[in-house]
Amino acid sequence: MIRMSAFDLDTAPPTAPTAPAAPTASAEPAAAAVPAAASTSVPPDLVLEVEHIRHGFDSQIVIEDLSFSLARGSIGCLLGPSGCGKTTVLRAIAGFEPLRAGRIVLDGQPVSAPGLAVPPERRRVGMVFQDYALFPHLSVADNIAFGLHRDSRQARRERVAEVLELVGLAGAGARFPHELSGGQQQRVALARALAPRPELLLLDEPFSNLDVDLRERLSLEVRAILKAQGATAILVTHDQLEAFAMADEIGVMHAGAIEQWGTAHQLYHKPATRFVGDFIGQGVLMPARVTAPGQLDCELGTLHSRDGLALPPGVAEVDVLIRPDDILHDDASALRAQILHKAFRGAEILYTLRLASGGRVLSLAPSHHDHGVGDWIGIRVEVDDVVAFPR
């Protein structure tokens, strides 16, 4: 078999007989993507602006009036269950899907709108796919150099060595994808996407094929790599822990729309909708009644909100969100609950508790507070952020 090297080709990239198209973009300047007259007044620190986009297949609408923006150097995430439209948004940003309404602006230049579709290879967007999409017949170095065919041979070698060092694979350039672990292949895919220095990096469920421990470790490592490069990136995932570990800002998607955009802390402690409150983290919704401004009563007692309750005027009957970390184990408390289930998590135990009324709550307790199913234990409530929704 004759193997061709990307370093020996100055005019065209190698051809893979069955492999998918390269997910990296060319190094052509973004300004060439559209006529100069189409430029906008987008602030220079905004790399991406998605404005009221709409997309569908035939009569089925997948994305409806969706908007968000991303500043240079930020890592954003679209988080949501399967079928919510998050991957379709990513594909629209990459240029693989047309828009029925709205527009997408990259680095100040419109690239997608009804009647406008700048080709993917002219958007300076890199993409890391779920299955890595590495060329099996090319070495690691040649995979990474694939999107650098416009550069000189020496420039390609230097950039490949640089990104291999960046992703912790220095010295692995001569190996082939089948000789690498899943985590190493993911690093090669990331290095290939970063090599052409894209304006925006798109990551589509990049860790879903990895085991849980490796997924968590790589999420943190990939974030560090992106931050070291000053890269701007968007991650798509259904995994909350992955989103929390990687992203600066997260948009929770549901039925083709973003229900809330914010930091992980904001989404967990101040969910804007019932869906966000239910989807992010764990918890239960308990009936309660507003008894004073910023105050409500429920079976657990009276809860006071430091920042007031975000409720429409006149609403009295509500459901209050109670998280597992709001319920503390306290043997001295007069409030009692019976253990229905327990899940050992190493340092902690997640208890499912039944209250006197039959209602249920969850509680996280240190694992040395070990009780049996059926036991009654004392609990107390400490809710720092009171979240309630109209019933």
Residues of the chain with CATH 3.40.50.300: 6-269
Write the DSSP symbol of residue 20.
Answer: P
**Among candidate residues 31, 52, 203, 55, the one with its CA nearest the CA of residue 110:** 31
Contact yes or no for 340/350 (Cβ under 8 A): no
For the cut 80, the answer to whether the pLDDT of residue 312 exceeds it is yes
pLDDT tier for residue 264 given thresholds of 50, 70 and 90: very high
pTM value > 0.85: no
| Percent of the chain whose predicted confidence (pLDDT) is above 90 | 76
Res. 185: pLDDT tops 60: yes
Identify the DSSP state of 305: -
pLDDT at 215: 83
Backbone angles phi, psi at 170, to 5 degrees: -55, 135
Query: Of the given ranges (8-22, 53-67, 231-245, 355-369), which has the lowest mean pLDDT?
Result: 8-22
Structure tokens at 88: 């379709």
- Say if residue 267 is exposed, middle or buried (CB neighbours under 10 Å; 0-12, 13-18, 19+): buried
Third-level CATH fold of 286-390: OB fold (Dihydrolipoamide Acetyltransferase, E2P) (2.40.50)
Kindly report the number of other CB atoms within 10 A of residue 92's CB atom. 25
What's the chain's length in residues?
A: 391
Report, as an integer, the average pLDDT of 118-144.
92
Has residue 29 got a pLDDT over 90? no
Tell me how far apart the alpha carbons of residues 220 and 205 are, in angstroms, rounded to a whole number.
Answer: 15
Going edge to edge, which strands form the sheet with 348-354? Answer: 327-329, 376-381, 336-344, 348-354, 360-366
Band the pLDDT of 11: cuts 50, 70, 90. very low
Residue with tokens 């914010």: 262
Give how far Cα 152 sits from Cα of 7, 8, 237, Å: 9, 10, 36
d(C-alpha 5, C-alpha 234), whole Å: 31
Q: What is the mean pLDDT of the segment spanning 293-303?
A: 94
pLDDT top residue among 16 and 381: 381
CB 106 within 8 A of CB 200: yes
Average pLDDT, the chain: 88
pLDDT score at 384: 86
**Overall average pLDDT of the 9-24 stretch:** 39
Spatial distance between the Cα atoms of 290 and 296, rounded to a whole number of angstroms: 4
In whole angstroms, give the CA distance from residue 360 to residue 343: 15
SS3 35: coil
Q: Is residue 2 pLDDT above 60, yes or no?
A: no
Q: State mean pLDDT over 295-304.
A: 95
- Per-residue pLDDT at 41: 53
Pairing label, strands 125-128, 200-204: parallel
Mean pLDDT computed over 298-317: 92
Mean pLDDT of 377-390: 94
Percent of the chain with pLDDT over 70: 89
What is the pLDDT averaged over residues 255-282?
A: 96
One DSSP character per residue, 85-96 reads SHHHHHHHHHTS
pLDDT of residue 44: 56
Where residue 297 falls (left for φ over 0; alpha for ψ -120 to 50; beta otherwise) is beta
- Say if residue 42's pLDDT is above 70: no
**Range(s) of the chain covered by CATH 2.40.50.140:** 286-390
The pLDDT value given to residue 130: 82
User: How far from each other are the two terminal CA atoms of the chain, in whole angstroms?
Assistant: 69
pLDDT of 106 higher than 60? yes
Fold exhibited by the domain 6-269: Rossmann fold (3.40.50)
Rg (CA), the chain: 25
